[in-house]
Amino acid sequence: MMGIPQQVLAAYGLTGSDTVIKAFGTGLINHTWTVEQQGKKYILQRINTHVFTEPEAIADNISRIAAYLAEQAPDYFFVAPVVARNGRQLITIAGDQGGSFRLFPFVPGSHSKAVATSAAQAFEAARQFGKFTRLLAGFDARSLHATIPGFHDLSLRYRQFQQALETGNADRIRESAELIDYLEAASHLVDRYVAIQQDIHFKVRVTHHDTKISNVLFNDADKALCVIDLDTVMPGHFISDVGDMMRTYLPTVSEEEQDFSRIDLREDMYHAIVEGYQLEMGEELSSREKQAFFYAGQFMIYMQAIRFLADHINNDTYYGARYPGHNYVRAGNQVVLLQKLNALQQKLDR
């Protein structure tokens, strides 16, 4: 496990011998810990600066959003980072063991869920992500930094995938022929994205870009309290948020599942996401946007499939691999998911 430099704990006054630190969560990119001292609990995160090359951009986005919400929606529950002793919300330490760290208060009585187990939970989560974007409808989304430039730009992701096919591991490319063929044949999904980008009826909004259920805090009565993990909040389209909910809440198993026969889709989750999101965003969305709910799911699943496969072909330099072929399996999982979603198009795309 990656350690936490002493200077980081010192910056927050958490160096006492009674401080208890535990690894937390399952994110692929950042490292997260819980830190407990004298009955007070925090979440500490180390930002992966290979991925988020400008952590100060994240800090700036979050401060500006926090200030806007405090003024325009003072009752909205927003979990702001703890300010360190030096007045900053990011502690950057040089060197191998260093990185950029920030601390959040642990919200008392809250919990997060690794997976969505009921449609009611999906509804609650979708509502929270919709509410977040709705409350920020008056905020100039384009003024936010793109914390990962081109993060959900499907054209860029497709070009990166094509690039991997040109310069990547030749053995892996050969062995992946079936997945590559399928994904190339489905590139009309990229064309639709290009059309959306050019469509003035698709507004650029403040979008979360990482709407997995573990990024929602719930209370003991299973009501959602707020959204967390705002690193990828940046200008985007609503299909990113709705689509990643579909990608991660619809299937009965996660992207890690190796036995693809266990991948089944839960239609009630689909309706819960659409209803929960629309309850908040219904008035905001244009009729063209409302016609893109089903596409949102295809868009995000397809993008994740090409990202996993490109990473496999590039020798796992982005996501890492815990076993040989890990990202190949993840990509295959996402392709099965996409096929299962496509099979429901007649029924759900209305």
Which backbone phi and psi does 87 adopt, to 5 degrees?
85, 5
CA 43, CA 36: separation in Å to the nearest integer? 9
CB of residue 87 to ligand GN1, shortest distance in Å: 27
CB of residue 338 to ligand GN1, shortest distance in Å: 14
CA 337, CA 256: separation in Å to the nearest integer? 12
CB of residue 326 to ligand GN1, shortest distance in Å: 12
Which backbone phi and psi does 240 adopt, to 5 degrees?
-65, -50
Q: Which of 210, 241, 255, 311 binds Mg ion (CB under 5 A)?
A: 210
CB of residue 214 to Mg ion, shortest distance in Å: 9
Q: Which residues in this chain contact ligand GN1 in the complex, by CB under 6 A?
A: 27-29, 51, 148, 210, 232, 255, 304
Q: Examine residue 255 and tell whether it contacts Mg ion (CB under 5 A).
A: no
Residue nearest to ligand GN1 (CB): 29
Residue 124 interacts with which of Mg ion, ligand GN1, none, CB < 5 to 8 Å by class: none
Q: Examine residue 241 and tell whether it contacts Mg ion (CB under 5 A).
A: no
The total number of residues shown for the chain amounts to 350
Two tokens at 104?
């959040």
The distance between the two most distant Cα atoms of the chain, rounded to a whole number of Å, is: 60
Q: Which of 161, 108, 99 lies closest to 306, judged by CA?
A: 161
Residue 51 interacts with which of Mg ion, ligand GN1, none, CB < 5 to 8 Å by class: ligand GN1
Which backbone phi and psi does 90 adopt, to 5 degrees?
-135, 130
CB of residue 125 to ligand GN1, shortest distance in Å: 15
CB of residue 198 to ligand GN1, shortest distance in Å: 24
Cα angle 123, 126, 130 (rounded to 5 degrees) comes to 135
Q: Which stretch binds Mg ion (CB under 5 A): 48-56, 180-188, 206-214, 259-267?
A: 206-214
The smaller minimum CB distance to ligand GN1, of residues 17 and 317, is found at 317
Q: Which stretch binds Mg ion (CB under 5 A): 102-110, 202-210, 280-288, 324-332?
A: 202-210
Beta-carbon contacts of 114 under 8 Å, excluding residues fewer than 6 positions away, are 26, 213, 214
Tell me the one-letter amino acid at 339: Q
Q: Which residues bind Mg ion (CB under 5 A)?
A: 210, 229
